[in-house]
Amino acid sequence: MNGLDMAQELACRLRGHWRRSQAEPLWGRSAILVLPRVLPRDAEARLPHRAPWCLGRESLERLLINLSDIARLVCLGTALQPHHDPQARIALTFDAGWRSTLEVAMPLLAHYAIPASVFLSTGWLRHPRGCWRLTIGEGLWEGHAARRIHDTLADAGLPRPPLPPACPDTAYSRALARYLTQLEGQDPRRLAAVADYLHGELDEAPHNLDPFSIRRLEHEGLVRFGWRGVGLNDLEPLDDDAVRRQVKRARQELARLCREPLPVFAYPDRQPSPRLRRLVGQCGVSLALAGQGGWLSPRSDPLALPRIPLTQPLAQSPGRLFDYLLGQL
């Protein structure tokens, strides 16, 4: 970090702590946060190829403590109700249903008695498979099957990845991050097919929660489950009929799995288009969450309620966190 970056970082943190001292802006406010996949150690989550998508356990715990200083951490239903409390209300959500949510995040939430909502990609429940970013990215990072992954991607007509050095370091993680960003522009169906094939060939453990774990978490009471479609890919590229099929099918699968599923849909898309909102509404959905946005307001569209995404750098710095959150008002 150069001198200018350090100065900007310090200014951001100081501004955040000053904003935190201004209690009035949070009066009667509510927000929904969306948290990324949680890993056991911060050092793992900070690597460049993981940082935009992951959060370390220590940072998550720090985040929960810091949020509790400025807000009540409540269930999603409570956050959606208007209120006039001096403290803000914040609800925590997780998308996709990563197994690490069960193994790392849930014990922390239980320790602090903080509720959360998890929005599942229900296709994973019928056919456990790998997410392409994890199967390809982590497979290359770990290195033991890097050549097989490289050749499979080349055979599929996808860009060839950088092969790892004998001891992968931060420089390779940066190269891997650039490569994964490049893959985001490729055909999602081809990426999914390659990930499915490699997931079986490499004999990977499922990345997602299994039905038994979902039922157990629901029974324990702190976590409720909603749905976000069948797969992980955005809905926008699909035609109207395919979108409706995904929304209805995922809702039916969730209803068979959970006793009290949330009546809330979460788009895989960061910002749903008017077309998607219309199609989701036609499926009988009355509440749906976008992947980004700001604080809730009376003007929020119930079929595109905003959520605030958090990342590792924000979670580990109270000043940056408060500056970011209060800057969304």
pLDDT of the residue at 317: 80
Q: Where are the domains of the chain?
A: 12-127+207-326, 132-201
End-to-end CA distance of the chain: 29
Listed range (14-18, 86-90, 298-302) with the worst mean pLDDT: 14-18
Instruction: Give SS3 for 266.
Output: strand
Q: What is the mean pLDDT of residues 101-127?
A: 89
Indicate the pLDDT class of residue 19, thresholds 50, 70 and 90. Answer: low
Percent of the chain clearing pLDDT 70 (strictly above)? 91
12 vs 67, higher pLDDT? 67
Q: Residue 154 and residue 148: Cα distance in Å, rounded?
A: 10
Mean pLDDT score across all residues of the chain: 88
Q: Is 13 left (phi over 0), alpha (psi -120 to 50) or beta?
A: alpha
pLDDT tier at 202, thresholds 50, 70, 90: confident
Q: Is a pLDDT exceeding 70 seen at residue 22?
A: no
Summarize the confidence of residues 273-283 as an average pLDDT.
Answer: 96
12-127+207-326 adopts what CATH topology? TIM Barrel (3.20.20)
- 142-196: pLDDT as tens digits: 988 999 999 999 999 999 999 999 899 999 999 999 999 999 989 888 998 898 8
What ranges in the chain are assigned the alpha helix state H? 3-21, 42-45, 57-70, 76-79, 99-100, 106-111, 123-126, 132-142, 146-155, 170-183, 188-201, 211-220, 240-257, 274-282, 312-315, 318-326
Is residue 67 over pLDDT 60?
A: yes
Q: How confident is the model at residue 5 (pLDDT cuts 50, 70, 90)?
A: low
In DSSP terms, which residues pair with 37 in a beta bridge? Answer: 54
State what percent of residues in the chain have pLDDT above 90.
Answer: 63
**Stated pTM of the model:** 0.89
Provide the 3-class DSSP secondary structure of residue 163: coil
Instruction: Copy the structure tokens of residue 238.
Output: 């699909």
Q: Looking at residue 69, what is its pLDDT? A: 85
Q: How far is CA 60 from CA 67, 108, 135, 307, 311, in A?
A: 10, 8, 24, 18, 10
3-state secondary structure of 268: coil
Q: What are phi and psi of 53, to 5 degrees?
A: -120, 0
